[in-house]
Structure 1
Amino acid sequence: MTKDQLLTRRRALLAGAVALGAAGTAGALTLGSGDAPAPAPVPAAGAQAGRPLKPSAYRLQPLTGYGAPRTRAAPLTVRHEPFLRMSGRGRTMVLTFDDGPDPRYTPHILDTLAEHNVRAMFFVCGEMAVQHKELLARMSDEGHVVGNHTWTHPLLTQMNRGQIRSEMERTSDVIEGAYGERPQWFRAPYGAWNRAAFQLGAEMGMEPMAWTVDTLDWTTPGTRSIVGRVEDGAAPGVVVLSHDAGGDRSQSVRAIRSYLPELLDSGYRLTVPPRRFA
């Protein structure tokens, strides 16, 4: 299936996905260091490529798949809502990018992040990751966090449990092979969550993450529009949703070159959630 055909198929799911995304993120949680996240406001539903609507004082050392084996943490609690923001002191935000990696756009976003020494999260699709493993390796080397966004970006609420497991497991396997460790975060395509997705994610050691601010970059609204949504939505704890694949993401590439230095100059610290395993 070509990328144009994939885009057409995904856009056909938009109407149902928007409603499901809104329901799936209701009552979403706040990312924090404690075991009992506090309730947080729910963002407006959106969509991207058929989807609803990732100088800093926080720095991570480059990740690596080598060294002594890590001790596994206790089994995760099965959530009923995804996290959509993070808690912590100061003006802290998280930038997230979905659907990649795409060699046309992802390297440019990584270059901008590296220029400003900022870490971000990339929720990758297995069918893209398996073709561009070198980009996952670069994300690892540069300290970014890679999350699971399924293999083919399907609407999980229309799949059975076995199909959902396959989508998630195959993607985690590719991530582990190219990135160096299995993902600790999962984002449902279209923001459409169901009980099976929460349960299977927890079984695989992944926490569910949504977002607070949607750039709507999948609609290609123009670079200024994307920049404006990020800057207008900036606030402590915000998680920003953008895309580095799934269509023409040249506007997203230009936008981050504009809003990232502006956020840093305004005193925001762009970081990623803490790792559970040391």
Structure 2
Amino acid sequence: MTKDQLLTRLSSTATAVLTRRRVLLAGAAACGAAGTAGLLTPGSGGEPVPPSPPAAGSQARPELKPSAYRLQPLTGYGPPRVEPARALVRREPFLRLSGRGSTMVLTFDDGPDPRYTPHILDTLAEYDVRAMFFVCGEMASYHPDLLVRMADDGHVVGNHTWSHPLLTRLSRGRIRYEMERTSDLIEDVYGERPQWFRAPYGAWNRAAFQLGAELGMEPLAWTIDTLDWTRPGTRAIVGRVEHGAAPGVVVLSHDAGGDRTQSVRALRDYLPHLLDCGYHITVPRRQPV
């Protein structure tokens, strides 16, 4: 074979090799283009399109599902509900409260009643005085707006049971029901659980003291009973308050449970007189355990 023939054969072989390489490269490019075409389709604005699901059959891989754990919402970020602080179980209620200077506490039972409670609240607001309202849950459930106003005006709301029963005639379970249901309502409407309770008719027993303590409440009675529920006349109510006034005294009046017109009028009379005499009308603070 001549030199020219040898060079010609070598040139043809190199050309064939180069051509085969180009074919392989072109094929790979075509496969890549086809794969890309499966993710980006014309008219989609360049948005990715998920590949089609695998064909059904024995060789099809099962569809992967997201973890159930990841789908569960996260919880526990809200503030925990604070359980009421356990109070000391007492054997008798507080009859008066200690305080600095000539302090007195005004308390009103059995409400709220829309016929009388708003007038009492108006008088207290006029003289910028805070008082205590021992409410019955049943009454409060009918007039929650009055509990809201008590909270807005800075008054203390106490527990006077749900239906004003004689506790000494009830079972322990029933006493708990009367107290706890009322505390729950006060918390929902007033904004916090009551820290004080008063037995209807002043009739206390061991179960009442124990259950009140379990619910985080202290028992409060009174020093002066105005006997306004007997409707003795406005002047008689005023006289009892003014004659019994002294530091630490707790005054019992009513804003519901009957005609309380005399109670409303009496408050308008004796409240400014007590303030003029130097008494500081306030609300109690919890006694140290």
Instruction: State the TM bucket, normalised to the shorter chain.
Output: 0.7 to 0.9
Deviation sequence 1:132-177 (CA, Å, 0-9, x none): 0000000000000000000110000000000000100111111111
Q: What are the superposed Cα offsets for residues 60-108 of structure 1, whole Å, 9 maximum, x if unpaired? A: xxxxxxxx77966752110000011011221100000000000000000
Kept in 1, the 8 Å contact 2:106–2:132? The answer is yes
Q: Gaps spanning 5+ residues in structure 1: where?
A: 1-67
1:155/1:73 CA distance change after superposition, 3 Å: closer
Over alpha carbons, which structure has the higher Rg? 2
Give the aligned partner of residue 154 of structure 2.
143
% of aligned pairs identical?
Answer: 79
The CA RMSD measured in Å over matched residues stands at 1.8
Tell me the SS of whatever aligns to 1:86.
coil
> With structure 2 as the length reference, what TM-score do the two structures score?
0.70
Structure 1 length as normaliser, TM-score?
A: 0.73
User: Equivalent residues in 2 for 1:179-198 (5 A)?
Assistant: 179-198=190-209
Q: Any idea what the Cα deviations from partners look like across 1:28-64, whole Å, max 9, x if unmatched? A: xxxxxxxxxxxxxxxxxxxxxxxxxxxxxxxxxxxxx
Paired position in structure 2 for 1:119: 130
Alignment of 1:214-229 (within 5 A): 214-229=225-240
Aligned length: 211
The within-5 A match list for 1:182-261 is 182-261=193-272
Structure 2 counterpart SS, 1:96:
strand
Alpha-carbon distance in structure 1 between the residues aligned to 2:236 and 2:80: 45
Q: Secondary structure at the match of 2:142?
A: coil
Q: Give the Å deviation of 1:251.
A: 0.3
- Once residues 193 and 158 of structure 1 are traced to their aligned partners in structure 2, the CA distance between those partners, rounded to angstroms, is 11
Q: Give the CA deviation at 1:274.
A: 2.1
Letter in 1 for 2:120: I
**Structure 1 residues 239 and 169: CA distance shift in structure 2, 3 A:** same
Q: Distance in 1 between matches of 2:233 and 2:80?
A: 46
Aligned to 1:42: none
Q: Could you tell me which runs of 5 or more consecutive residues in structure 2 were left unpaired when the two chains were aligned.
A: 1-78
Change beyond 3 A, Cα 1:85–1:183: same
SS at match of 1:235: coil
| Larger relative contact order, structure 1 or 2 (CA cutoff 8 Å, min sep 6) | 1
Matching residue of 2:177: 166
Alignment of 1:45-84 (within 5 A): 74-84=85-95
CA distance in 1, matches of 2:126, 2:143: 22
